[in-house]
Amino acid sequence: MEKSSTPYRRHLNSADDLITTRDQIRAGFVSLALERNRRATPYVEEARALKIAASKVRAPADLNKITGIEPALVTAAGISDKAARHMLAEDRKEAIQGLISKFLDPAGAAFVEELVFRFLLTKGDTLGGSMRNVGGALAQRRITRALLSALTISGTSYHWLHARSQTWAQMSAEDVDIELHLRGLAWSVRSKTRTLIYNVTVPIVMNNIDVVLLNCGPGECRSAYAQPERFILMGELKGGIDPAGADEHWKTAKTALGRIRKAFSASRLEPNTYFVGAAIAKKMATEIWDDLKDGILTNAANLTDQDQVASLCNWIVEL
């Protein structure tokens, strides 16, 4: 697949256009806070249910008599869901007994509140772990929504891959929030089928790539991964908004993109590559711009700029 000429010129005039402003950084942190609250909602509801159930007994020892709350008691004992799956039944019972004797009994009449607090403490650690990758998840959703919009506006029908079920679904008029569950998209352009997949380990590169666009139908992906000539586009997507980590994100992405170029050049192929980042500082922007001008990168965009993202996604849909 030949590389596009200068598609970045549709939305970039200079390196300065790539720089993330202070207002964009603040907006990014607000988005992270909102996502944290969204992800915390199930835990809060579970804690409310636990409180209602635990309030039915008068003493901590009687909690063992309540049907169906053992997993919550194990969580309150400080054991994560992942760890609990590796424990025997007697280990879980011992953990619950330790919770009761060391923390709930000493709390006296306030044992229910103590139970709920400790439940949320463990769930908070779980939430913190999931939030480490939330920037990437939000970035993927933003790109996905822009791709869906580009396809819809152009009157192009599509299929989308459900991340959990790994099944392809047909385009629907009601596509609200499908970006929360989408891992891939497939459409046709100029009588050729295109399939875009997130987070793919590409055999020729032997590493995970954030986004790949293939010249194949959705049912051909597995075989296409082993055929370098099928790769039209590969991109690196960095959604972290903290300026302190921006340079590190770019270094990681640049290394990955360099690995892609080296691997495909060995097969005399030069697929399109792009970089999209949320936090882009001045020095980074200059380096990205230089790579664009030198043809090392085909395209780039600042994730916090909706117009740039829309332009980049329109280009992807046209490839």
Single pTM value for the model:
0.81
pLDDT for the residue 240: 87
Please check whether residue 18 is in contact with residue 300, taking contact to mean a CB–CB distance below 8 angstroms: yes
pLDDT for the residue 203: 92
Strands (DSSP E) found in the chain:
158-162, 168-170, 182-189, 192-202, 207-214, 231-238, 272-277, 299-302
pLDDT for the residue 282: 93
* Residue predicted with more confidence, 173 or 224: 224
Q: Does 2 score more than 60 pLDDT?
A: no
* Residue predicted with more confidence, 52 or 31: 52
**Percent share of the chain, pLDDT over 70:** 97
Please check whether residue 178 is in contact with residue 141, taking contact to mean a CB–CB distance below 8 angstroms: no
Look up residue 313 and give its amino acid: C
Rounded to 10 deg, the angle between the 134-153 and 306-318 helix axes is 60
Which sign, positive or negative, has the C-alpha torsion 214, 216, 220, 226? Answer: negative
b/e per residue 49-83 (b: at least 16 CB within 10 A): ebeebbeeeeebeebeeeeebbebbbbbbbbeeee
The CATH number of 7-35+133-318 is: 3.40.91.10
Where residue 62 falls among pLDDT bands split at 50, 70, 90?
A: very high
Where residue 132 falls among pLDDT bands split at 50, 70, 90?
A: low
pLDDT for the residue 77: 92
Q: Average pLDDT, stretch 130-147?
A: 84
Please measure the distance between the N-terminal and C-terminal CA atoms of the chain and give it in whole angstroms: 10
pLDDT for the residue 284: 95
Please check whether residue 300 is in contact with residue 33, taking contact to mean a CB–CB distance below 8 angstroms: no
- Own/partner contacts of 80-84, CB < 8 Å, gap of 24 or more, are 80/122, 80/125, 80/126, 81/126
Query: What share of residues in the chain are helix, strand, coil (percent, to 5)?
Result: 55, 15, 25
pLDDT for the residue 131: 64
In the chain, residues under CATH classification 3.40.91.10 are: 7-35+133-318
Instruction: For domain 55-130, give the fold.
Output: Recoverin; domain 1 (1.10.238)
Enumerate residues 6+ apart whose C-beta is below 8 A from 172: 178
Tens-digit pLDDT profile for residues 234-251: 999 999 888 888 888 899
pLDDT for the residue 175: 78
In the chain, residues under CATH classification 1.10.238.90 are: 55-130
Tens-digit pLDDT profile for residues 256-285: 999 999 999 998 999 999 999 999 999 999
Mean pLDDT of the chain: 91
Where residue 1 falls among pLDDT bands split at 50, 70, 90?
A: low
